[in-house]
Amino acid sequence: MWMLENAFLIPLIPALSFAVILFFGKRVIGSGRVHLIGITAVSLIWVLSLVAAFQWTQRVEHPSSDAIAQISVDDHGDDHGDDHGDDHGDDHGDDHGDDHGDDHGDDHGDDHGDDHGKAAMHSESGHGGGHGSALISPVVTSYSKWWSNGGVDFAIGTHVDGLTVLLLVVVASISLLVHIYSTEYVKGDRRYVHYYAFLSLFTAAMLFFVMAQNIVQLIVGWELVGVCSFGLIGHWWEEKPNTDAALKAFLTNRVGDIGLLVGMIVLWGTFGTFSIDAINTAISASPGTQHFALLVAACCLMAAVASKSGQFPLHTWLPDAMAGPTPVSALIHAATMVVAGVYMIARLYPVFYDGFSIGTSSINLMAFIGGFTALMGAGLAFAQWDIKKVLAYSTVSQLGYMVMALGVGAWTAAIFHLFTHAFFKACLFLGAGSVSHAAHHTFDMRKMGGLKKFMPHTYWTFVIATLALSGIFPFAGFWSKDEILLGAKVGQQSGYPLMLIFGCAVAFMTAAYMTRVVWYTFHGEYRGHGHPHESPKVMTVPLWILAGMALVGGAFNLPGPVLKPFGLEGLAHRVQTYAEPSVYLSGLGLSHPDPSLSMALIGLGLALSGIIVTYLYFWRNMGPKGLTERNKYAKAGYTFLENKYYLDYLYNDIIVASIKKPIANSANWFNQNVLDKAVNTAGESARDSGRWIYKWIDQGAIDGSVNAAARGADTSGEGLRTIQSGKVQNYGQLLFGAAAVLAIVFVIVI
Amino acid sequence: MEATGFDAWVLTLAVFLPLVGALIMMVVPKAYELEVKLIGLGSSLAALAVGIYILFQFDYGSSSELQFVVDKGWIDIINSRYIIGLDGLSLPLLLLSLLVVPLCLVYSWNHVPSPGNPKAFFILLLILSTGMNGSFISQDMILFFVFFEIVLLPMYFLIGVWGGEERRYASLKFFLYTLFGSALMIISFLALFFLSKDAAGNPLQTFDMRLLTDAAGSGIVKTTQVWIFAGLFIGFGIKVPMFPFHTWLPDAHTQAPTVGSVILAAVLLKLGTYGFIRIAIPFLPEAAVAWAPWIGLLAVIGIIYGALGCLAQKDMKRLIAFSSVAHMGFVMLGIATLTDFGLNAAVFGMVAHGLITGMLFFVAGSIKERYHTLEISRLGGLLKSVPRMGWILGFATMASLGLPGLAGFWGEFPAILSAYNPGAGLSEELFRTYMVIAAIGTVLAAGYLLWLYQRTAFGEPTEEFADHAIPDVSRNEWIAWVPFLIGIVLFGVWPNLIFNLTDGVVSSITANVEAVVAGR
Amino acid sequence: MEALLAFTRPPLDWHALAPELTLLAVGTILTMVDIIWDEKSKQVMPTLAGVGLLAVLVPIMTLALDGTDRAMFDGAYVVDDFALVMKALFIIIGYVIVLMSVDYIRDGDYYENEYYTLMLTSLLGMLMMASSRDLISVFVALELLSIPAYMMAAWRKGGRRSNEAGLKYYLMGVFASAVMLYGMSLIYGLTGSTSFSGIASELALDDSATALSILGVLFVLIGFAFKVSAVPFHNWAPDTYEGAPTPVTAFLAVASKAAGMVALIQLVFVAFDNHEVIQPFFWLIAALTMTIGNLIALRQTNIVRLLAYSGIAQGGFMLVPFAVAGQASERALQAIVVYLIIYAFMNLGAFSVVLAVSRKTRSGELESFGGLFQYAPGLAVAMTIFLAALAGIPPAGGWFAKFGLFRALLDAGGAWAATLGVVVAINTVIAFAYYARVLGQMWFQPIHEGDERPVKLTSALGSALVIALVATMAFGILPGLVGHFGEVAVLSTLGF
Amino acid sequence: MLLNQFLILGAVLFCIGVYGVLARKNAVMVLMSIELMLNAVNINMVVFGVQHEVVSGQVFALFIIAVAAAEVGVGLAIVLLLYRNQTSIDVEDFDLMKG
């Protein structure tokens, strides 16, 4: 398990490549070739992360021997979890096997882990903790003292478990593809070197964040990725809009960071430790004991999540962030950085689970924010003409989906969706990039159309990704979305009906607006100018790879029943098995809903209807105008036309009328004029109040009083000069007068 | 434990070598300009070398004890002695001030601002450094007071002679403010001298800081303590500067020559906070507890207020100056919590602010030198016209807004953190409120700094400078700046460098406070 | 006839009188020399005077080494350590003033010989003042030091300003001394004794002060408050200082103020010990003097006049410890003496710089200092140090003097003392405001009338400057030197 | 003996003197008034001396008389000087320096 204990190497490599590129990029290597360093570094960590992932699976598959002793202890917890729902014997047993593996491990692991951890702290010996806990705890933490302050030790190290390696793989893969893709996309850019330097830095920061051993590291990584995003959004800083967008992104995130800081501090104050492992263990050991503190912390952290993962109401920076280069949008603002919030929730899940009492409630802040964001994002996606904006809002919506999933207790589903979404959304963005690359760097869909025949690769990959996003069987999105809906339906102790409705609506709308995009971009007549052309291999190959993942990504967490016919039940729920930190979650009594065919069909149906309706709508509108006459024959009733008419009607008066016009537009209006304005005016008003205070309070009152005192002294000096009349007899009078007065006063007083 | 042999001399050397250099320079005629400069640089470098020697000789195991102690008679008649010593609290600050001065000399080697006269300029800088170094190592209140005051005149002349248009007003304001503060300060010192008693209850009648720290204000009734603390509070608070005593700072900074601002920001302001930690709190723990809520309040007001002030500025240098008010607010918040956590954060904040804001002022000065203006609206596109400087500015900006991994963050974050659990039975609710406000302050900080950066560095250069060929960072500037940049990164990545040093001292201080509060 | 024969000369301790006698001899020699070769003697006069003054230091030293307190005329005239310290101070001041005067008097072709003779006479009065422990001797000493000073003030016979200065100084002086005498008469009437010790014991008898005693004490104190130009008895000072020849101004501002202080010390700490009037009176006077002196100084444009007001304010600082004479007599006395000594040197230094500069610019206006730093950096730095000392900024000497004040106040403790302390603190700030105007002229301003000619520093003036500079810095860096004298004074006066 | 009468006489004389000093414009008259004050003091001294039956009072008086003579001498000299320079001995006229 070497890789797991020395995972710290993984962020180190891109960090080095960043330094190399920045300092030797121009001089030594030559601007044109810096990408080589970046790509080498990233492919290296890609390999490493795969190794890590493999070793992790080994680790889960073969729990260490001394652990078996504990089985009996955990059985109850498990059976309890599995009680409700129809039982599939093998599945059951299978679960058992795994759960034993994890569960008994944790009881042990924590103590040991901690002991060793402490030992490591005291002896300050590098990975003592790691080695110690590696044997038995599913979570591999290895850390050493970073700095200590007032008796509080701050560790730096890695916290590797299923979730970590999953994110490792995602980040490394997509970063690698983006690196390759960019070599063509930003070729000959004015700041090629800086571009790659920042890509490396971002990768390093993101990995650092993912592997954070304690919440302080979480904060550090969180901020660092934020800065990289700032630098890359403002990559073309000559144009003011870009820098505005960059500032907006950074400042909005800073607002969330208030929540982050405060929330983390509350956690620290409550549990007296920074270690994620310790905090989670503490909560799952005795749930509910710290409920209020956790509620506060969770609320604060939600603000952070909202800002980083573009949740309502702090999402407005994300669409603007599209000002950055498209590959950056794919990497940072679709696949990795923006899911940092989701990741943090998952990472500190006990906090939220307990704080929002997800287990018992049937609605809670996180679920609602997530659901609402999903709905709103989807609605907004309709109103956009800029293809990247559509994708951005779609990202907002999907992130909302994930947050909602976490809010309803469907941990695995959320992470699984995070996993799949990363690939197909990256694919979509890169596709969009490829399109604009072809169509003279425009992102306006009204200037596109009919690109299908010019750029088939882009088209097909885009379609695949679209299907995946829409959740069409058997594409990746289908499986993950299905699990989320299922989770919303079943919930923990009670279902989340509202979330289920939101989920379904979003499923439908997603399919609809994505079809719209596909339509406007690739079908119909080319409305732009010049001759679009397919992008070169270096761009299309990554597209295909991602498309492939979008196609098969679902396989990583197939439900048991699906595999049963093939006798592959052993491969069921891999993500759940490997990624889910049952160490922490089991203590919370988190249960998994059993797969249900009906739910899957409903989800699929919604998606399909969305696509069909949209397709027909456009198909119909583009036909010869004779069709409108046929409308009149509706009553005469050709079933086929009726159907069409029915659909048409449906679309026009229900979908379009209900979604596009009121909801989407009003949502858009609200978004632009209220939320966005609010964000901007917040800045403005701060600036104005600053001016006011400076003018009136600082320069006026405070400084004024100081200067006034000085002036007062000066003028009184001037006044006093009059007693110096120059007439000697006045002097005498003053002298004797003073003498007399003093005499009288003293005689009276004393 | 008095130092012996050479060790007994190192601190004295570190303090007075620059002064010796200055005296030699005085007698060398102006005509030999180069020689004069070399003597100045040499003496300051010699002092720095001594500092490095100290760095190696320092016993980090017992960083909480005074080391290199010298205790010689000075003014027997008032029982004030020449006591100097160095512990983990003084070491970083001493080194900072030892480092800054030679860098400033290098920076202004060929760029002594008008009206020129490098000889006088260098001499004043050296005298200044003597005063600063001395303040950080003196363990006798009168000695401290003398060094504390020595820095005034040189800075007054630096601002007044080599400053901007409003220089006379600014320099005088700076001087009078500080003079007032120090007058009240000396009153408080004397009150301590007469009132504090030792454990046995008989009067100490000493200025020896070590004894007074042990006495911890015993024998002084609380109300009196509060009054004495008030004197110290004003004396140090003006220097920090704390709201509402801050108004001298923007003027002084704006008008001062570049190195003047750098030294002001990097070292002089620290004298105030250092005084709080070294003198005010340990000597008068009870009063400190009584004052802490108010200090905290003023600190957070300063944070928000300074930030808002920054947003209002049109002049780059003035903006940076106001940001100092905000940053020192964080430092004071850390101090106000009276936890060793907070005090450590405060010390770290001092060093970090010294490096970062010093760096910012350097850049501002160089920009002024090239563009002859610091009006934000007239600047722009620095990244295009002077890319390297633009990057350095961006770097310093990021550090200043508290980006993790750079020094600034470790001053801010622990300070905020410490407010969650204030020490010495201070009201948690109150300080947690402060914590949240301070956290909001970080947003504003990001706001004004990025706003500054956007308007100065991003975009295209303004027309008036578009066609000028403006030189990028020069050799001397590199020499002067690189140490700052390295320091910012180094402390950001490895904060323990400082926390390790200060922790011992600070925890003994807070333990003392806790004990006293518990005891009475 | 019998009575005449019955007269027996009181025992004279010649050694004790040696300093006075030497000074007298020097004065006489000067006069003789002047009478014998009048014109030719001009060259040697200053030298003679200076050497003579230094000669006076010899007996003072021997007495100091001998160390026994000597009293004569049944305690009316005492030579103790305090007296010796003060005498030494007066002599040194006198010497420095001679150095300052040489070129001034010579260039202005005034009567030289008489000038020095008169100055020595005035110094003689001061020496007496230091030893007087009796109303009569104090009075005589006072007049002996004042009357020549009147004439010196009016020394520039042709100059109307000088005449006016003389007139004002004279009229106010004699008026004040008349008031003082009236007070003395009342005191005498109450106590029936003229010796301080007698007065003290008598006043101590009646527990609460009678109106008469209050009146008496008050008038006597006022007489000397005038001498130290305390507000509101100060008006003469600015005019006289401005009008009088600058060396004379220095003499008045330093020497005669010191003499007044010496008298006050004896009166307050011995004669009127713990009288009810003392503390409130001095609290008020000190506060007024500091504040008003400083405030008016803010508006001055003439450097000498500015220094005059600064001198008034400094006098106010010196008066502060009297306000706590009761509670902290020891530290108070110490503070006054220390302040007196340091003040003497820093003020003399400032005046010598003014002399040096005005020799070139021929003007006493503040502007004449413009850009001094650029063409005479040495002078500028020296002036900076003296002003810093006056403002009380370490390491220049003044800080220790101010420190002494605070020390005395804090030692006394209590609200009134603390309040006065704050007043002092504020006044230090105001004071720097106008010292800074001089500094600003020297450092920040362009050269006055663009004339860059360097300032020619004559040897005499230069040495005066050096003495003052060395003393000021020494007292600042090693205050122990001066502090010691303070303790000596305490010991002998209060018998601690 | 009638102590108080003498004291009152002294006081009255003193007050007259003060008035003269503060009110009369002619410098010579001012000098005279000062003499008046001094003599008031002399009366006090002598009377008190008699009352206490010690001689020091008279001695003091003698000293005062002597010193007063010297003072007046100087005073007249100054007045003469003034008269020579600006042909006026009105003390009101001498206010070159003020403020």
Q: According to the model, what pLDDT value does residue A90 have?
A: 37
Q: Judge whether D87 is closer than 8 Å to chain C, CB to CB.
A: no
Contact A389, A302 (CB under 8 A): no
Residues in D touching C164 (Cβ below 8 Å): 82, 94-97
Q: What is the mean pLDDT of residues B94-115?
A: 90
For C239, which of D67, D78, D97 is closest by C-beta distance? D97
Residues in A touching D23 (Cβ below 8 Å): 729
Residue in chain D closest to C142 (alpha carbons) equals: D67
CB-based contact B312 A255, cutoff 8 Å: no
pLDDT over 70 (residue A191): yes
**In this structure, what token pair is assigned to residue C8?**
């027996």
Top residue of D19, D41, D59, D93 to mutate, by most chain C CBs within 10 Å, is: D41
Q: Judge whether A711 is closer than 8 Å to chain B, CB to CB.
A: no
User: Max CA-CA distance within chain A?
Assistant: 126
Q: Judge whether D57 is closer than 8 Å to chain C, CB to CB.
A: yes
Q: What is the mean pLDDT of residues A107-126?
A: 35
**In this structure, what token pair is assigned to residue A399?**
């992130």
Q: What is the mean pLDDT of chain D?
A: 89
Q: According to the model, what pLDDT value does residue A101 have?
A: 36
**In this structure, what token pair is assigned to residue C362?**
């021929």
d(CA B143, CA C358): 38
pLDDT over 80 (residue A167): yes
Q: According to the model, what pLDDT value does residue D76 have?
A: 92
* Residue B200 banded pLDDT, cuts 50, 70, 90: confident
Please tell me the distance in Å from C418's CA to the nearest CA on chain B.
9
Residue in chain A closest to D22 (alpha carbons) equals: A729
Look-up of token digits 């200025």: B207
* Residue B487 banded pLDDT, cuts 50, 70, 90: very high
Please tell me the distance in Å from A747's CA to the nearest CA on chain C.
5
Q: What is the pLDDT of residues A374-413, one digit of tens each?
A: 888 887 777 777 888 888 888 988 999 899 988 888 888 8
pLDDT more than 70, % of chain A? 81
* Residue A668 banded pLDDT, cuts 50, 70, 90: low
Look-up of token digits 């202080």: C261
pLDDT over 50 (residue C392): yes
Please tell me the distance in Å from A297's CA to the nearest CA on chain C.
50
* Residue A632 banded pLDDT, cuts 50, 70, 90: very low
For C160, which of D37, D54, D85 is closest by C-beta distance? D85
Contact C270, C493 (CB under 8 A): yes
Q: According to the model, what pLDDT value does residue A1 have?
A: 65
Q: According to the model, what pLDDT value does residue C385 have?
A: 94
* Residue C270 banded pLDDT, cuts 50, 70, 90: confident
pLDDT over 60 (residue A128): no
* Between residues A438 and C386, the one the model is more confident about: C386
Most confident of B42-56, B68-82, C324-338: B42-56
Q: Identify residues of C whose CB sits under 8 angstroms from chain D CBs.
A: 135-136, 139-140, 143, 147, 150-151, 154, 157-158, 160-161, 163-168, 170-171, 174-175, 178-179, 181-182, 184-186, 188-189, 192-194, 238-239, 242-243, 299, 305
Report the Cα A741 to chain-centroid distance in Å: 83
Kindly report the pTM of this predicted structure: 0.86
Q: According to the model, what pLDDT value does residue A641 have?
A: 36
Contacts of A214 (CB under 8 A, 6+ apart): A143, A154, A155, A156, A157, A159, A273, A274, A275, A276
B132-136, C472-476, D36-40, D81-85: least confidently modelled range: D81-85
CB-based contact B404 A223, cutoff 8 Å: yes
Cα atoms in the 13 Å half-sphere on the side-chain side of C63: 27
Residue in chain A closest to B394 (alpha carbons) equals: A231
Q: What is the pLDDT of residues A334-370, one digit of tens each?
A: 888 888 999 999 888 888 888 888 878 778 888 888 9
pLDDT over 90 (residue A60): no
A625-629, B300-304, B365-369: least confidently modelled range: A625-629
Number of other CB atoms surrounding residue C223 within 10 Å:
29
Most confident of A515-524, A534-543, C407-416, D57-66: D57-66
Of D92, D82, D79, D24, nearest in space to C161 by CA: D82
d(CA C311, CA C251): 12
pLDDT more than 70, % of chain C? 97
Contact B134, B98 (CB under 8 A): no
Of A575, A596, A483, A587, nearest in space to A88 by CA: A596
d(CA A305, CA A258): 11
Q: According to the model, what pLDDT value does residue C451 have?
A: 78
* Between residues A445 and A179, the one the model is more confident about: A179
**In this structure, what token pair is assigned to residue A74?**
């955990």
Top residue of B178, B247, B494 to mutate, by most chain A CBs within 10 Å, is: B247
Measured CA to CA in angstroms, residue A307 lies from A284, A672, A686, B249, C30 at distances of: 27, 17, 19, 36, 95
* Residue B298 banded pLDDT, cuts 50, 70, 90: very high
Residues in B touching A690 (Cβ below 8 Å): 307-312, 448
Please tell me the distance in Å from A695's CA to the nearest CA on chain C.
26
CB-based contact C483 B179, cutoff 8 Å: no
Q: What is the mean pLDDT of residues D34-38?
A: 93
Contacts of A408 (CB under 8 A, 6+ apart): A358, A367, A487, A488, A491, A492, A496, A499
List the subunits that have 3+ CB pairs under 8 angstroms with C: A, B, D
Q: Judge whether D94 is closer than 8 Å to chain A, CB to CB.
A: yes
* Residue A104 banded pLDDT, cuts 50, 70, 90: very low
DSSP C425-492: HHHHHHHHHHHHHHHHHHHHSPPGGG--PPPP--HHHHHHHHHHHHHHHHHHH-THHHHHHHHHHHHH
Q: According to the model, what pLDDT value does residue C130 have?
A: 92
* Residue A665 banded pLDDT, cuts 50, 70, 90: low
D/B Cβ contact: 3+ pairs below 8 Å:
no
Q: What is the residue extent of each domain of chain A?
A: 720-749
For D92, which of A727, A733, A736 is closest by C-beta distance? A727
Q: What is the mean pLDDT of residues A587-615?
A: 80
Enumerate the β-bridge partners of residue A160. Answer: A140
pLDDT over 70 (residue C450): yes
* Between residues B157 and A5, the one the model is more confident about: B157
Please tell me the distance in Å from C299's CA to the nearest CA on chain D.
9
Q: What is the mean pLDDT of residues A303-326?
A: 84
d(CA C51, CA A718): 45
Please tell me the distance in Å from D38's CA to the nearest CA on chain C.
6
Q: What is the pLDDT of residues B237-256, one digit of tens each?
A: 999 888 888 888 888 998 99
Q: What is the pLDDT of residues C138-193, one digit of tens each?
A: 999 999 999 999 999 988 888 888 888 999 999 999 999 999 999 999 999 888 88
Look-up of token digits 């036909």: A623
Q: What is the pLDDT of residues A537-555, one digit of tens each?
A: 888 888 888 888 888 877 7
Count of residues in chain A: 750
Q: What is the pLDDT of residues C94-141, one digit of tens each?
A: 999 999 998 888 887 777 788 899 999 999 999 999 999 999 999 999
Q: According to the model, what pLDDT value does residue D2 have?
A: 67
d(CA A58, CA A56): 5
pLDDT over 90 (residue B262): yes
CB-based contact D91 A728, cutoff 8 Å: yes
Residue in chain B closest to A221 (alpha carbons) equals: B404
Q: According to the model, what pLDDT value does residue A131 have?
A: 34
pLDDT over 90 (residue A239): no
pLDDT over 50 (residue A631): no
Please tell me the distance in Å from D26's CA to the nearest CA on chain C.
12
Q: What is the mean pLDDT of chain C?
A: 88
Q: According to the model, what pLDDT value does residue C370 have?
A: 86
Q: Hey, what's the torsion of the CAs at A228, A231, A236, A242, to 10 degrees? A: 100
pLDDT over 50 (residue A118): no
Top residue of C296, C310, C437 to mutate, by most chain A CBs within 10 Å, is: C296
Cα atoms in the 13 Å half-sphere on the side-chain side of B290: 17
pLDDT over 60 (residue A647): no
CB-based contact D71 C143, cutoff 8 Å: yes
d(CA A658, CA A651): 9
Please tell me the distance in Å from C265's CA to the nearest CA on chain A.
20
Residues in A touching B335 (Cβ below 8 Å): none
Q: What is the residue extent of each domain of chain B?
A: 7-519
List the subunits that have 3+ CB pairs under 8 angstroms with A: B, C, D
Residue in chain A closest to D26 (alpha carbons) equals: A729
Q: What angle do CA A157, A163, A166 make, to 5 degrees?
A: 105
Coil, strand or helix at A636: coil
Please tell me the distance in Å from D72's CA to the nearest CA on chain C.
9
Q: According to the model, what pLDDT value does residue A155 have?
A: 82
Q: Judge whether A729 is closer than 8 Å to chain D, CB to CB.
A: yes
CB-based contact A746 C280, cutoff 8 Å: yes
CB-based contact B503 A693, cutoff 8 Å: no
Instruction: Spell out the domains of chain D, with CATH numbers in brackets.
Output: 3-87 (1.10.287.3510)
For A736, which of D22, D96, D99 is closest by C-beta distance? D22
Count of residues in chain C: 496
pLDDT over 60 (residue A18): yes
Q: According to the model, what pLDDT value does residue A71 have?
A: 32
* Between residues A647 and B470, the one the model is more confident about: B470
Q: According to the model, what pLDDT value does residue C111 have?
A: 77
* Residue A693 banded pLDDT, cuts 50, 70, 90: confident
Most confident of A325-334, A540-549, A565-574, B98-107: B98-107
Q: According to the model, what pLDDT value does residue C126 have?
A: 94
Q: What is the mean pLDDT of chain B?
A: 89
Cis peptide bond prior to B115, omega within 30° of 0: yes
CB environment B75-100: b (16+ within 10 A), e (fewer): bebbbbbbbbbbbbbbbbbbbbbbbb
